Amino acid sequence: MIKDITIGQYIPGDSFVHKLDARVKILLSILFIVDLFLINDFTGYIVIFAFVFLAIKISKIKFKYIYKGLKPIFILMLITALFNLFLTRGTGEPLFQWWIIKIYAEGIRTAVFMVLRLIFLIIGTSLLTLTTSPIELTDGIEKLLGPFKKIGVPAHELAMMMTIALRFIPTLMDETDKIMKAQKARGADFETGSIIKRAKSLIPLLVPLFISSFRRADELAMAMEARCYRGGTGRTRMKILKVTSKDYVATAVMFGLTGIIIAMRIWL
């Protein structure tokens, strides 16, 4: 499951979505998240599904990468569904009742509704990282945070930290997988026993992982210092971010989607 995590991975390509300005993709991703929280009916998710399916096809990202991104959160989706299923109280008679457990139609609706929201949230944000290189992502975040420099916000440093953290997620996952296999070869058991026993069995995994993380951080710091890295002051870029006609088209489509979601929320 560790290798299935696609957060932070970038898949090179020349699709319409890949060529969009990083700043535009970040803002449109935020707008997409807002649209998800504006939906109050299952009909809205039909529109979102059509939009996401079309975006995936245009980006030429294989569906297996989207599926891999969803696999690690299956447990989270299950917990979310169960909480909403058992804790949501309806106005009518319960559909199922046993002891203190009562399941209402409203609970089923809320559980499915929240799971769909979580799925589309992960897919939408995954498209951003899968189609945007770490360098472009850094430049885009820095540009968007640029106006806040006037009030003392370290835009470049924040953008660099967020991008480095995002970039090293796949690396740390791969390192975790290697350490776990090495510990299993030595007789470690991470899957059986009580919760306390499983938590204790993670100690041989966490200690070398922390050591490896600190070593990688130290190596990265030395590499940046050796290349005379001094932050954003006077920094030049090989590729300058530039808004093109493609970005205007994508923005118009996203605003159209937002308009449809708002109209459906009001009228339905």
**Residue 94: C-alpha distances to residues 99, 129, 240, 246 (Å):** 12, 43, 60, 51
Is the C-alpha dihedral spanning 123, 30, 50, 109 positive or negative? positive
Domain ranges across the chain? 2-168+241-267
Predicted local confidence at residue 1, as pLDDT: 46
How far separated are the first and last CA of the chain, in Å rounded?
40
What pLDDT does residue 238 have?
A: 66
Cα–Cα distance, 168 to 216 (Å, whole number): 10
Long-range CB contact pairs, 59-66, < 8 A, 24+:
59/13, 59/15, 59/16, 59/17, 59/18, 59/127, 59/130, 59/131, 60/13, 60/15, 61/11, 61/13, 61/127, 61/130, 61/131, 65/6, 65/9, 65/11, 65/126, 65/130, 66/123, 66/126
Q: What is the pTM of this model?
A: 0.76
Give pLDDT, residue 67.
81
Give CA–CA dist 268/250, Å, rounded: 26
96 SS3 class: strand
Q: How many CA atoms lie within 13 A of 131 on its CB side?
A: 29
Q: Left if phi > 0, otherwise alpha if psi is -120 to 50, otherwise beta: which for 120?
A: alpha
Per-residue pLDDT of the chain (268 residues; tens, 9 = 90+): 445 555 667 888 888 998 899 899 999 999 999 999 998 888 889 999 999 999 999 998 888 888 877 877 788 888 888 888 887 777 777 777 777 777 878 888 888 888 999 999 988 888 888 898 877 887 888 888 878 878 877 777 787 787 777 777 777 777 888 888 888 887 777 777 676 777 777 777 788 888 888 888 888 888 888 887 776 666 666 677 788 899 999 999 999 999 999 998 888 6
pLDDT in tens, 163-205: 777 777 777 777 888 888 888 887 777 777 676 777 777 777 7
Q: What sign has the CA pseudo-torsion 219, 4, 73, 134? A: positive
- Where are the strands (E) in 49-183, listed by range? 96-98, 101-103
Q: Which amino acid is at 10?
A: Y
- Look at residue 237 in the predicted model and tell me its pLDDT: 67
Positive or negative CA dihedral for 249, 255, 258, 260? negative
